[in-house]
Each structure stands twice: as C-alpha cells, then as structure tokens.
Amino acid sequence: MELADRAIGFILASISVTIFTYYTFWVIILPFVDEDHFVHNYFLPQEYAILLPVYAGVCLICFLSVFIGYVMLKSKKKKA
C-alpha cells in the first residue's frame, strides 16, 4: 500500500508541476514572444489565462459549499 501511495503522490506532484510550468510560461513569457512564432500554436488565447482559473475557483467554492452543507445536514439528522 505504501508503494501505491508514493506512486500516486509522485503522479499528482508531476501533474501539478507540469500545469504550473505550462501556465507560468503561458502567462509570463508568451506575451514577449512574437505573434508569428510557432510556439503560439501550443497555447490558448490570452483571455483564457484569466477565465480558466476563475472558472476553476468558482467550481471549487461551489463544491466546498455543497460539501459543507451536506455535512451540516447529515450531522443535524444524526443529533435528532
């Protein structure tokens, strides 16, 4: 079981580093690269650099709110 936990942790850390590197390059470095450079083919338009994290944050807040509400309702039924 410990080996499986380490493998999952390594995979999640690798995915996180990859996403962080991609996003950092997209937001910080790409605006200084010429528009006709081939590297622009690998990235979405700059508008999505703001929209995607905002959308992910809103989804996270909604999920956490529903989860907290569910736990509160479940604990309330348990007391009654």
Say whether 43 sits in a helix, a strand or coil.
Answer: coil
pLDDT attached to residue 80: 62
What are the φ and ψ backbone dihedral angles of 43, each rounded to 5 degrees?
Answer: -130, 150
pLDDT attached to residue 30: 92
The single residue listed with the structure tokens 């309330």 is 76
- pLDDT tens for each residue of the chain, 80 residues long: 678 889 999 999 999 999 999 999 999 999 999 999 999 999 999 899 999 999 999 999 999 999 999 999 988 877 76
| pTM > 0.95 | no
Residues in the chain: 80
* Domain residue ranges in the chain: 1-43, 45-80
Q: To 10 degrees, the CA torsion angle through 24, 29, 30, 31?
A: 120
pLDDT attached to residue 75: 87
pLDDT attached to residue 78: 74
